[in-house]
Structure 1
Amino acid sequence: MEEISAFEEFEKKDNLARRRSLLPIWIKIFTWLFLIGGAVAIGILICGFFLTNINLEIYGIQASHPYTLTGFLISILLIYKGTVAYGLWFEQKWAPQAAIIDGIMGIAICIIMMIIIPFTHSNINFTIRLELIPLYFYLQKMQKIKPIWKNI
């Protein structure tokens, strides 16, 4: 009688279809950056009382302390991006949908910070958000990967 090993999945040589292999190298690099960024954001929220001068920024949103409204918003965005990065790196089934939501949110926030906010706040100037370029390609790639990812 043949015994079935609990590690049989790892011992198979023909199991080459990995979800992670669907990701291009630039998304893998950003995945690691946002895994680290999400962990740092959690650390900043935990140690926020001890931080006197810290500059947080993402998509044109700026904060000088983590316990302000914009500081919480930036931290939540970074933690969400870290969660999406975790899902992509560890090949979770929900990761492409979360990545699509992340891309749409990022593009929407960039457009708001680029077009609407400069006209409603006099101390914020118009800037072209270059984050829109990789966000567009990220969104397109995740939409293309999603059906394949679910079937693997």
Structure 2
Amino acid sequence: MEEMILDNPRENGMERRRKLLPVWIKIFIWFFLISGILTPFVHVFGIIFEKHSSSIYGLLSSSSLSITSFIVSAIYLFKGLVAYGLWFEKDWGVKYAQIDAIVGIIICFLAMVLLPFVTDVVKFSFRFEILFLIPYYLKMIRIQQEWTARGIF
């Protein structure tokens, strides 16, 4: 058992989990890994200098002390955690990625359907993020099945 932990998976002919990730997901992983790292600093600087604008999934905030700003920051932090889990092949990475996709789809849907009625401007806007979130969720389901079926490192 101890030898398996210390062995290099490439030398043993074992396949890496990361290899199953398509290029487009790897690009988003790096974007959200960096975003997740920078989010606390951006948020604190926004509080100090009173200039801060952040948005994701249709949630937009121009004040660092607003609830929306904290929600947006929490989403970026969670996406950074998911990116870390996927890139470093953690067992929980794909499960968290599925949760991330579902939460993103729900927030996008609510932003499209509810926000026009609760804001001053009654205007429907289509959230293009949803076009990436649905394939992302479906791909994470397939990747999880591959990881478990083949016992990939």
State the TM-score, normalizing by the size of structure 2: 0.88
Q: Give the counterpart letter for 2:19 in structure 1.
A: S
Q: Give the counterpart letter for 2:78 in structure 1.
A: Y
Shift of 1:6: 9.9
Shift of 1:54: 1.7
Q: C-alpha distance in 2, partners of 1:6/1:23?
A: 24
Shift of 1:47: 3.2
Determine if the alignment matches structure 1 residue 52 to structure 2 residue 63: no
Q: Percent identity?
A: 38
Shift of 1:53: 1.4
Q: Rg bigger for which structure?
A: 1
Shift of 1:92: 0.2
Determine if the alignment matches structure 1 residue 39 to structure 2 residue 11: no
Deviations 1:79-128 (A, max 9, x none): 00000000000000001110000000000000000011212323352101
Distance 1:137 1:94, change over 3 A: same
- Counterpart residue number, 1:68: 66
Q: Is the 8 A contact 1:118 1:125 kept in 2?
A: yes
Unaligned runs of 5+ residues in structure 1 are none
- Counterpart residue number, 1:133: 131
- Counterpart residue number, 1:93: 91
Q: Which moved more, 1:27-36 or 1:111-120?
A: 111-120
- Counterpart residue number, 2:77: 79
Q: Is the 8 A contact 2:39 2:77 kept in 1?
A: yes
Pairs aligned (count):
149
Q: Is the 8 A contact 1:51 1:65 kept in 2?
A: no
Q: How does 1:108-123 map to 2 (within 5 A)?
A: 108-123=106-121
Determine if the alignment matches structure 1 residue 29 to structure 2 residue 27: yes
Q: Give the counterpart letter for 2:137 in structure 1.
A: L
Shift of 1:48: 3.7
Shift of 1:16: 4.0
Distance 1:20 1:45, change over 3 A: same
CA-atom RMSD in angstroms: 2.1
Q: C-alpha distance in 1, partners of 2:9/2:28?
A: 30
Q: Give the counterpart letter for 2:103 in structure 1.
A: M
Which residue, 104, 107, 120 being the options, matches 1:106?
Answer: 104
For 2:114, what is the secondary structure of its paired residue?
helix
Distance 1:6 1:113, change over 3 A: closer
State the TM-score, normalizing by the size of structure 1: 0.89
Q: Is the 8 A contact 1:66 1:75 kept in 2?
A: no
Q: Is the 8 A contact 2:50 2:64 kept in 1?
A: no
